[in-house]
Amino acid sequence: MAERIRVTLKWIKILDKLEPFFKETGEFRFRSKISSDNEGGFVAETRFPEEGHYSLSDKPGWNFVTLNKVLFEGAVSDHLLVELFGEEVDLFTANDELDHYRREFRGPVGEWLGLYEPADEGAGDPENMSNWRISYTIEKI
């Protein structure tokens, strides 16, 4: 049975600014890709910020961006794939990529509604990557 859900990205924390030591902040851009093979299959992509970049450091107080951004609203029945990409923009060399986040949900929607955060699954927590951390919710609407 299809259920309507909402995926909301709460925040992002940068652990490596991917810049030389003398540069205080990096120029970060992000992209989400929410997809499913349900309902005939779909892909919903969102870029943020819409223009420009976030200036973020990896120092406490400067490495955090509160987003509360809705990445997807729609119907699914038993499959959802959440992917997040981040890059730090460089002018004269290729942009630096943050780790690719990928988490796939299968089975009844009710089993995977909830809060996904970096510190609740021990070592290898998927939301706790080598160079960034994320937190998001999947809720029924």
Kindly provide the residue ranges of all beta strands, DSSP E only, lying in 15-111, ordered along the sequence: 26-36, 42-48, 54-56, 64-76, 79-88, 96-97, 101-106
Which region, judged by CB under 5 A, interacts with Ca ion, from 29-37, 58-66, 99-107, 116-124?
116-124
Q: Out of 9, 82, 98, 127, which residue is the one contacting Ca ion (CB under 5 A)? A: 127
Q: Out of 8, 10, 15, 19, which residue is the one contacting Ca ion (CB under 5 A)? A: 19
Alpha-helix runs per DSSP H in the chain: none
Tell me: does residue 45 bind Ca ion (CB under 5 A).
Answer: no
Of 75-104, binders to Ca ion (CB under 5 A) are 88, 90, 96
| CB-nearer residue toward Ca ion: 94 or 141 | 94
Name 7's Cβ contacts closer than 8 Å, sequence gap at least 6: 34, 70, 71, 72, 73, 80, 82, 136, 137, 138
Q: SS3 of 136, please?
A: strand
Chain length of the chain: 141
Which region, judged by CB under 5 A, interacts with Ca ion, from 2-10, 23-31, 59-67, 68-76?
23-31
What is the rounded distance in angstroms from the CA atom of residue 107 to the CA atom of residue 78?
A: 5
| CB-nearer residue toward Ca ion: 74 or 88 | 88
Q: Out of 5, 25, 27, 71, which residue is the one contacting Ca ion (CB under 5 A)? A: 27
Q: Out of 5, 7, 18, 56, which residue is the one contacting Ca ion (CB under 5 A)? A: 18
78 secondary structure, DSSP code: S
Please report, as ranges, the residues that interact with Ca ion according to CB under 5 A: 18-19, 26-27, 88, 90, 96, 120-121, 125, 127
